[in-house]
Amino acid sequence: MRRERSRLLILKMKVMLSIRETIKEGKVKFIVKGINHYRRGGENNEWGDFPKIFRISKDGSAIFENDLLLGRGMNINKLGPTCVTLYTFDMLGKRTTGKINYKDITILKDEDTPNLY
């Protein structure tokens, strides 16, 4: 029982490290568990809540919403051991920070990326 827990913990750490390395490389798309967007999609191209797709910049320094051309985004402050820390500034210069846990991230391959329109 104890060995199974330690093996599971090691497996989770390897997955988190692989997500961290993938984000560090840049130019990748992903979804975050629990963040949805009301839009057209799916097999029948119907309206509904679908996972919001994010993308990493080419140099791995920022995260943007995928469906917007100039889109809203946040800069990557730190790639920690369990989460990525983000920040942005509003019009008045107020800094806003956020964190995304690696366990909530699912990396998308090109064939997994749905057609938005």
The residue behind tokens 């107020």 is: 94
Please write the tens of the pLDDT for every residue from 62-115: 999 876 666 688 999 999 988 999 999 988 999 999 999 999 999 998 655 555
The HSE-up count of residue 115 (CA atoms within 13 Å, CB side) is 5
- Per the model's pLDDT, the better-predicted residue between 16 and 21 turns out to be 21
With a pLDDT cut of 70, the percent of the chain lying above it is: 80
Residue 10 pLDDT > 60: yes
Tokens of 4: 């199974």
Decide: 5 and 83 in contact? Cβ < 8 Å. Answer: no
In the prediction, which pLDDT does 117 show?
A: 37
